[in-house]
Amino acid sequence: MPKRVTWSQYRESIGDRSGLFAALAGAWSIERALYPGSYVDLSPSTAFGLVTYVDNDARAARFFADPDLVRAELAGLTGPGVDPEVRFLAGDYTKPLDVPEGSMDLLISLYAGPVSEYCRRDLRPGGLLLANTSHGDASVAALEPDVRLVAAVHHANAGYRLVTDGLETYLVPKRPETADAVRIRSSGRGIAYTRSAAAYLFEVP
Element (H, E) at 51: strand 50-55
Report, in this order, helix, strand and coil percent for the chain, each rounded to 5. 30, 25, 45
- Burial string for 84-99 (b: 16+ CB within 10 Å, else e) reads bebebbeeebeeebeb
Per-residue pLDDT tens digits for 10-37: 999 999 999 999 999 999 999 999 999 9
| Residue range 54-108, pLDDT digits in tens | 999 999 999 999 999 999 999 999 999 999 999 999 999 999 999 999 999 999 9
pLDDT at 102: 96
Residue 5, classified by CB atoms within 10 Å of its CB into exposed (0-12), middle (13-18) or buried (19+), is: middle
User: What is this structure's pTM?
Assistant: 0.96
Neighbours of 121 (CB within 10 A): 13
φ, ψ of residue 104 in degrees (nearest 5): -95, 140
CATH number of 7-204: 3.40.50
How far apart CA 65 and CA 87 sit, in angstroms, is: 10
Say if CB 128 and CB 146 are below 8 A apart: no
**DSSP tag of 185:** H
The pLDDT mean for the chain works out to 95
Residues 6+ apart with CB under 8 A from 72: none
| Nearest one of 47, 49, 39, 33 to 9, comparing CA atoms | 39
Mean of pLDDT values over 119-138: 96
